[in-house]
Amino acid sequence: MTDNSDNITALRKSANDNLGFFYLLNKLDLKSSLSKRYLYSQKFITDKHKLENEFDKIETTISFLNDKKNDKIFSDTENKLSQILDINGTLQNLANSIILSDVELFEIKKFAILADEIKQLLLTFDLIDLPDLSEAINILDPENTRIQTFYIYDAYSCELAVLRKSVKVKNENLSPELYQKIIEIEDEIRKQLTEKLHAYTQDLKTALSKVAYLDILIAKSKQAKTEHFCKPFIVDTNTFYQGLFNPQIKDLLHAQDRKYQHVDISFGQYPTLITGINMGGKTVLLKTVALAQYLCQYGFYIPANDARIALVDKIMICMDDEQNHLQGLSSFAAEMKNVNEILSETNTNKRLLVLIDELARTTNPAEGSAIVNAMIDMLAERNICSFITTHYDKITSTCRRLRVHGLLDNITVIKDEKKIEQYIDYSLVEEKTANVPHEAIRIAEMLGVNSELIEKAKNKMNDN
């Protein structure tokens, strides 16, 4: 378990990298090699207005994409974006007034021209506000050709032009003195160019990050459009999803010609206990709830038909993950350590989303269910928006309960356990009692497990 992290890079390094979030990021069709660095430095946003503004931008972009007559502008923009390289290092040198080389001056000129062309292309669309770089371009384009090439032009110095002409006339026999003289003049020009450009450092940096932002915005919008994601509405208390799905798992199932069932779920500032048969998709549900919250607060559309989302300051997930085993902790010890972290966070004023998969599953049911009950009580007292999944009976604490609907009624035998989803209804139903489904033996029987074992297990159940 880890908390949600400040930015996407930190999230990737955390244990929460298996929610399906990075699957979506990797599928983003980014055009510029520059944009990935910007994408990964995006911050987890807790400010409602910032997010709403971002979702509006995506909405505008999608409507712009949907209009056929913009296709040309759009593909031209993408073409320009694909030519933009990350010149952050060069801009850093410029900021530090290090005299720039021809290659660096070329990089700045090429970038500035491309950024300017993108600005012109998108002039009539309210997508980004790029700074005016024409002054910076003029410095590097003394012949006013607007072509993306660069050298120390003759136009920078009459003396240089004369010397070069004399070299051309004499052809190959460039004397060391003449060569030295040319070098000196060129160095002086580079110094002057760097000094002049220095004033535009901030504009160039702003343009670089805005261009990256534009690339990411277009990629996000295209993804939202093709994957049928929805624009989330930010609400104050109760989160509600209609037709929520996990794109990674959906793609995985579709690739195997299998079906994925979307689910509806709502929750508020209280614990929700989730029960349901094995293979009922409880873990996937938790992951998907976490995924949707991350997507929302990193400014993405949501994989659902409808999403009304209450913002949180921190997402805390406790799932069985291999990292703990690698650290040499027993699963129980690792889990208890995580639970402890969660509880200490509940004492702060942060808005939390807590997701715990099968709390205390690795210990005996008597103590395990006691721990679950205690945890529910504490989360309820503190009004924590939280989910706990369990198979345990005797969870008597007062809380809201949801059950995965479970096996379809008319199923008696599971012929194809590799396509288990055709026997299960994954929708969630409100459960009023503390009972958990007793279907483990039934499922084992349907799976064709050793009949003697099944019979004996049934008898044992009756004995109790």
Partner 1 sequence: MPFIAEILKYRSVSIVGIEKNTGKTESLNYILSKLHDKNKCIAITSIGVDGESIDQVTNTAKPEITIFENMIFVTSEKHYFTKRLTAEILNVSANRTSLGRLVTAKAKTVGKTLLSGPADTATLQKIIKQNAAFGADITIVDGALSRMSLASPSVTDAMILATGAAYSANIRQLMQKTKFVCELISIDAVDEKIRTLLGDTEKGLWSIDSNGVLHDLNIESAFMLTSAEAIKHEYLQNCKMLFVAGVVSDKLLDFLRMQGNMDGFTLIAKDFTKIFVSPEIYNSFRKKGGCIKVLHKTKLIAVTVNPVSPQGYVLDTKILQQAMRENLDVPVYDVRDNQ
d(CA 298, CA 88): 23
- For partner 1, the closer of residues 175 and 422 by Cβ is 175
C-alpha distances out from residue 38 to 86, 175, 213, 294, Å: 10, 49, 7, 17
Smaller CB separation from partner 1, 182 or 312: 182
> Is the Cβ of residue 158 or residue 326 nearer to partner 1 in the bound state?
158
Minimum CB separation of residue 112 from partner 1 in Å reads 14
Residue number with CB closer to partner 1 (105 or 214) = 105
Sign of the Cα pseudo-torsion (437, 442, 447, 451, in order):
positive
Shortest distance (Å) from residue 214 CB to partner 1: 19
Check residue 98 and report its DSSP letter.
P
Q: Which runs of E-coded beta strand occur in 198-267?
A: 233-235, 239-244, 263-267
> Closest approach of Cβ 87 to partner 1, in Å?
10
Q: What is the DSSP string of 5-67?
A: -SBHHHHHHSSGGGSSHHHHHHH----STTHHHHHHTPBPP--HHHHHHHHHHHHHHHHHHH-
Q: Which is nearer to partner 1, 21 or 150 (CB)?
A: 150
Contacting residues for 152 by C-beta, under 8 A, at least 6 apart:
102, 160, 186, 189, 190
Between 151 and 233, whose beta carbon lies closer to partner 1? 151
Q: What is the DSSP letter of 353?
A: E
CB of 83 to partner 1, least distance (A): 10
Q: 416: how many CB neighbours lie within 10 A of its CB?
A: 8
User: Nearest to residue 15, comparing CAs of 362, 272, 287, 273?
Assistant: 287
Closest alpha carbon to 285 in 446, 455, 404? 404
Rg (CA), the chain: 30
Q: Which residues bind partner 1 (CB under 8 A)?
A: 33, 85, 101-103, 106-107, 149-152, 164, 167-168, 171-172, 174, 179, 182
Edge-first strand listing for the sheet containing 239-244: 233-235, 306-310, 239-244, 263-267
CB of 4 to partner 1, least distance (A): 33
Least CB distance to partner 1 at residue 85 (A): 5
CB of 147 to partner 1, least distance (A): 9
Closer by beta carbon to partner 1, 120 or else 171? 171
In the complex, what is the shortest distance from the CB of residue 148 to partner 1, in angstroms, rounded to a whole number?
8
Residue 105 or 353: which CB sits closer to partner 1?
A: 105
